[in-house]
Amino acid sequence: TQLLEQSPQFLSIQEGENLTVYCNSSSVFSSLQWYRQEPGEGPVLLVTVVTGGEVKKLKRLTFQFGDARKDSSLHITAAQPGDTGLYLCAVYGGATNKLIFGTGTLLAVQP
């Protein structure tokens, strides 16, 4: 079983549309991170959310941490082709607090 389930798994939209992707778990976390990975590259950290209910904005991207700190969402406004990539949520877990990734959402924004 996956610690972090992301949905949808795949998303193909037209430029200018809005979208929301989700990261869900039954566990409580002290913090949660979102990464974006472009084809042929390593993942790059977008944001870290720490407080339950916290909302952070990064240009057209809005990240929210659930009140109970079990889930998170990423909303993109007016998507652009440059937003295309794999979006991954991640938390620290396990006995050694290693970084554990979610299942990922693959986003394709068509021009």
Region for residue 96 given its phi and psi (left: phi exceeds 0; alpha: psi -120 to 50; beta: otherwise): alpha
**Which residue in 1, 14, 26, 42 binds other proteins (CB under 8 A)?**
42
CA–CA distance from 12 to each of 7, 78, 81, 106 (Å)? 13, 13, 11, 8
- CA end-to-end distance (rounded Å), the chain: 36
Half-sphere exposure of 98 (CA within 13 A, CB side): 6
Query: Binding of other proteins at residue 100 (CB under 8 A)?
Result: yes
Q: Taking the complex as a whole, how short is the minimal distance between the CB of residue 99 and other proteins, in angstroms? A: 6
Instruction: Mark the segment that binds other proteins (CB under 8 A) among 14-22, 68-76, 77-85, 95-103.
Output: 95-103
| Residue (45 or 58) nearer to other proteins, CB | 45
Q: Which of 68, 94, 108, 110 contacts other proteins by CB under 8 A?
A: 94
Least CB distance to other proteins at residue 1 (A): 14
Q: Does 20 bind other proteins (CB under 8 A)?
A: no
**Phi, psi for residue 30 in degrees, rounded to 5:** -80, -25
Q: Which residues bind other proteins (CB under 8 A)?
A: 6, 40-45, 86, 88, 92, 94-104, 106
